[in-house]
């Protein structure tokens, strides 16, 4: 265990139970952190908190407890059980794919667990939690009893600030996809890709809103990934749905999702393109859609990207807005944690001014109950979705 002593006056966020300890707050480090454990002391030597240790990250420790209790098998089991109770209380029926452990939001910073039917994917997001891997795996198996558990180690890449590419399983492990249901619809998580743990579980609530609105309407699904929004729209009676994504593999999965749910689809329903270019073409040919879904990847991954990200969000929204028919809908999303809900709404508003089109904000919808956010750590609320109605 390593003991991290804070600079005078830097204990405030720890006293408020914020789980992130930045390296700049640390005056002295003493001991060996190779077991992944850190103890945090104030400048006078009083012990304040314990957590996992990430020597290479700006967030040098993710704090799990604010007292004497040390993270370990007993605590992991307790926290996982609490997380399970929330899912049991709040998840919709016929849903076997969901996030079982949501890092800070379940007081398990650095740990994600996604369940896809019979397969659980444990993702260890920091070097410290990677070291605790065997105990975390044991807790996941005990509390959630998945027939199969795979572990995706992305902590080292993330702590170094590298782009995360590691798939959950390497292709030769013979487990490339995991079937599951969401509100009775059938999907596969792509475990051998590199996107999330294989599926965007965080959009379940928005997919179900789309399903409720879609009857008789044509849906344009931008940044579609595996086309889950389109499947939800068609389940709600959409007349047609078109997926646009840059990834051929994602579109391949999108085709399979249509087939699996028995919705007819033609080649023209899957468009491999850069969304910015595709949108410009559609705007030029004056296309009009009843519902446009715009769910891009995070444009801002670090603070230095913010200005460029804001321009990207504005451009994409201005273009998407021009395609929405009067009386139609735009669901526009941002999953950049660095772009606050307030900033995102302002960017979208300014896009509507530029487009010269009136939209009303009808609902804000982020992730569902399986992505809880701790009040101690509001940074966990990364997904913002705005449902806009074209007047
Ligand atoms: N809406 C999806 C998740 C979107 S993730 C769902 O609910 O499942 C973002 C997707 O955008 C990825 O599939 C990625 O391949 C795609 N992408 C990223 N940049 C792109 C671009 N410039 N043009 C087209 N697709 C892009």
String of DSSP letters for 143-198: HH--SEEEEEE-HHHHHHTPPP---SS-GGGS--EEEEEETTEEEEEETTS-STTS
Phi, psi of 62 (to 5 degrees): -105, 125
Cβ of 275 below 6 Å from ligand 1: yes
Cα of 223 vs centre of ligand 1, distance in Å, is 4
**Which residues in the chain land under pLDDT 50?**
none
> For ligand 1, is residue 223 a contact (CB within 6 Å)?
yes
Helices (H), the chain: 12-15, 73-90, 127-131, 133-144, 155-160, 204-213, 228-235, 248-260, 275-284, 306-322, 341-355
Choose, from 108, 294, 335, 377, the residue flagged as catalytic.
335
Ligand 1 centroid–CA 297 distance in Å is 6
pLDDT the model gives residue 166? 74
240/218 Cα distance (integer angstroms): 5
Ligand 1, atom 13, lies closest to the CA of 225
Q: Give yes or no for residue 203 CB within 6 A of ligand 1.
A: yes
291 C-alpha to center of ligand 1: Å?
Answer: 17
pTM of the model: 0.96
Ligand 1 center–CA 295 separation, angstroms:
7
Pair 328, 292: CB distance under 8 Å: yes
Closest residue CA from atom 16 of ligand 1: 223
Q: If you measure from the C-alpha of residue 238 to the centroid of ligand 1, how many angstroms do you get, rounded to a whole number?
A: 21
The verdict on the CB of residue 297 being under 6 Å from ligand 1 is yes
Give yes or no for a contact between 323 and 357, defined as CB atoms under 8 angstroms apart.
no
Handedness of CA 45, 47, 48, 54 (dihedral sign): positive
DSSP state of 32: -
Report pLDDT for 195: 80
Pocket perturbation via mutation, ligand 1, pick of 182, 220, 225, 243 by most ligand atoms within 8 A of CB: 225
Sign of CA dihedral 106, 108, 111, 116: negative
The structure tokens listed for 91 are 């998840």
Q: At CA 198, angle to CA 79 and CA 21, rounded to 5? A: 45
Residue 55, number of CB atoms within 10 A of its CB = 15
**Rounded Cα gap, residues 318 and 352, in angstroms:** 6
Q: Is the CB of 202 under 6 A from ligand 1?
A: no
The CA distance from 182 to 197, in Å, is 16
> 68, 101 in Cβ contact below 8 A?
no
Which ligand 1 atom sits nearest the alpha carbon of residue 275? 23
Atom of ligand 1 minimally distant from the CA of 335: 5
Residue 247 in contact with ligand 1 by CB distance below 6 A: yes
For the Cβ of 200 lying below 6 angstroms from any atom of ligand 1, the answer is yes
Q: Please give the torsion angle defined by the CA atoms of residues 353, 356, 360 and 364, in that order, rounded to the nearest 10 degrees.
A: -50
SS3 345: helix
Residue 58 CB coordination number (10 Å): 12
Spatial CB neighbours of 13, under 8 Å, sequence gap ≥ 6: 20, 21, 25
Query: What is the side-by-side strand order in the sheet with 289-294?
Result: 270-272, 240-245, 218-222, 289-294, 324-334, 384-390, 359-364
Are the CB atoms for 87 and 369 separated by under 8 Å? yes
DSSP characters over 48-65 = EEEEEE-TTSSEEEEEEE
Q: Whose CA is nearest to atom 12 of ligand 1?
A: 225
Q: State if residue 250 touches ligand 1 by the CB under 6 angstroms criterion.
A: yes
Query: For the CA atoms of 339, 102, 127, 37, what is the dihedral angle to 10 degrees?
Result: 120
C-beta of 298 in contact with ligand 1 (< 6 A)? no
377 is catalytic: no
Best mutation site among 211, 296, 316 for ligand 1, i.e. most ligand atoms within 8 A of its Cβ? 296
- Give the per-residue pLDDT at 159: 87
Confirm or reject: Cβ of 225 under 6 Å from ligand 1: yes
Please tell me the predicted confidence (pLDDT) of residue 171. Answer: 62
């Amino acid at each position: 265990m390593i003991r991290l002593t804070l600079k005078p006056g830097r204990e405030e966020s720890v006293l408020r139970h914020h789980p992130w300890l930045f390296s700049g707050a640390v005056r002295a480090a003493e001991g060996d952190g190779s077991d992944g454990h850190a103890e945090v002391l104030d400048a006078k030597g009083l012990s304040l908190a314990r957590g996992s240790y990430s020597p290479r990250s700006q967030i040098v420790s993710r704090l799990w407890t604010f007292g004497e209790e040390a993270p370990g098998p007993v605590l992991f089991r307790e926290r996982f059980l609490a997380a399970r109770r929330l899912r049991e209380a709040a998840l919709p029926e016929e849903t076997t794919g969901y996030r079982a452990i949501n890092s800070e939001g379940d007081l398990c910073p650095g740990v994600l667990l996604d369940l896809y039917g019979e397969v659980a994917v444990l993702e260890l997001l920091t070097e410290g939690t990677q070291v605790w891997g065997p105990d975390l795996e044991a807790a996941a198996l005990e509390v959630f009893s998945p027939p199969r558990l795979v572990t995706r180690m992305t902590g080292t890449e993330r702590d170094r600030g590298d782009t995360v590419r590691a798939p959950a399983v390497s292709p030769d492990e013979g487990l490339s996809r995991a079937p599951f249901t969401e509100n009775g619809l059938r999907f596969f998580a792509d475990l051998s890709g590199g996107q999330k743990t294989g599926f965007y579980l965080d959009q379940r609530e928005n997919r179900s809103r789309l399903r409720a609105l879609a009857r008789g309407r044509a849906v344009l699904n931008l940044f579609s990934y595996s086309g889950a929004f389109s499947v939800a729209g068609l389940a709600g009676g959409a007349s047609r749905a078109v997926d646009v994504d840059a990834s051929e593999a994602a579109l391949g999965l999108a085709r399979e999702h249509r087939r699996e749910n028995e919705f007819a689809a033609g080649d023209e329903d899957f468009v491999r393109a850069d969304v910015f270019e595709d949108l410009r073409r559609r705007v030029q040919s004056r296309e009009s859609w009843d519902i446009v879904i715009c769910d891009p990847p995070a444009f801002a991954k670090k603070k230095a990207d913010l200005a460029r990200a804001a321009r990207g969000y504005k451009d994409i929204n201005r273009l998407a807005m021009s395609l929405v028919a009067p009386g139609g809908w735009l669901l526009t999303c941002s999953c950049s944690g660095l772009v606050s809900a307030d900033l995102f709404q302002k960017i979208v508003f300014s896009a509507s001014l530029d487009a010269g089109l009136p939209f009303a904000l009808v609902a804000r919808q982020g992730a569902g109950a399986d992505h809880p956010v701790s009040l101690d750590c509001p940074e966990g609320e990364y997904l913002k979705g705005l449902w806009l109605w074209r007047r």
